[in-house]
């Protein structure tokens, strides 16, 4: 037996915690499904979870595709969260040409390096520099993958939003004011 598989080793503890986390996630999903079956609203469930009704629905709901009447996939594009973080790091570094290389055809004509630089400068003039980012939240929105990232600027908090099309190209990019009660998860900006 390899050392990392021995009971009591740090990696065995990681594996056990991962299994426990998966079991807790499954139990939470089942409890939420029961609450919905009992008639509780997404607002009530979001309140219990300490989040918005939309965030609760996006994580635990079972949306139906209105085009087909079939359940929609909740799978997100692999690596979407890391790519979204990189896009905001590139903003702080003024690397707008790299961001433009990620854009799909629909927005590549609208978001030029000059347009992005100007928007970032306006943002800095209103709320200061980006100091750190929180934990990204990737989720499906129709056929697309959307990643929301808490952004903490000098004078205000916001949410960075990157939408990826099914081919993995950036189909939308925005910064919006943070909700009144954002989750307390943060990581320092690197």
Report the domain count for the chain: 2
In a domain, 162, yes or no: yes
Residues 49 and 96 in one domain: no
Model confidence at 184: pLDDT above 70: no
Residues 179 and 101 in one domain: yes
Residues 49 and 84 in one domain: no
Domain span holding position 135? 80-188
Model confidence at 4: pLDDT above 80: no
- Predicted confidence at residue 6, as pLDDT, reads 56
- Predicted confidence at residue 94, as pLDDT, reads 95
Residues 42 and 134 in one domain: no
Residue 165 backbone phi and psi in degrees, to 5? -75, 175
Q: Which has more pLDDT, 23 or 90? A: 90
Which CATH number do you get for residue 181? 3.10.450.590
Model confidence at 3: pLDDT above 50: no
Model confidence at 54: pLDDT above 60: yes
Residues 183 and 90 in one domain: yes
Q: Band of the pLDDT at 65, cuts 50, 70, 90?
A: confident
Q: What is the pLDDT of residues 9-47, one digit of tens each?
A: 888 888 888 788 778 888 888 999 899 999 999 999 988
Q: Residue 132 carries which DSSP code?
A: E
CA distance 124 to 179: 19
Residues 55 and 84 in one domain: no
């Amino acid at each position: 037996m390899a050392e990392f598989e021995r009971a009591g080793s740090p990696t065995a503890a990681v594996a056990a915690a991962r299994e426990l986390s998966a079991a807790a996630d499954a139990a939470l999903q089942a409890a939420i499904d029961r609450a919905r079956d009992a008639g509780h609203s997404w607002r009530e469930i979001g309140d219990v979870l300490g989040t918005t009704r939309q965030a609760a629905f996006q994580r635990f709901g079972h949306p139906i595709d209105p085009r087909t009447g079939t359940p929609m996939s909740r799978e997100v594009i692999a690596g979407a969260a890391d790519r979204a973080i990189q896009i905001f790091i590139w903003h702080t570094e003024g690397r707008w040409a790299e961001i433009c290389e990620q854009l799909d055809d629909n927005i590549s004509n609208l978001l030029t390096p000059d347009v992005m630089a100007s928007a970032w400068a306006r943002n800095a003039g209103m709320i200061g520099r980006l100091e750190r980012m929180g934990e990204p939240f990737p989720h499906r929105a129709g056929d697309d993958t959307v990643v929301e990232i808490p952004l903490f600027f000098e004078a205000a908090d916001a949410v960075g939003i990157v939408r990826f099309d099914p081919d993995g190209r950036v189909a939308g990019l925005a910064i919006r004011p943070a909700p009144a009660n954002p989750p307390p998860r943060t990581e320092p900006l690197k």
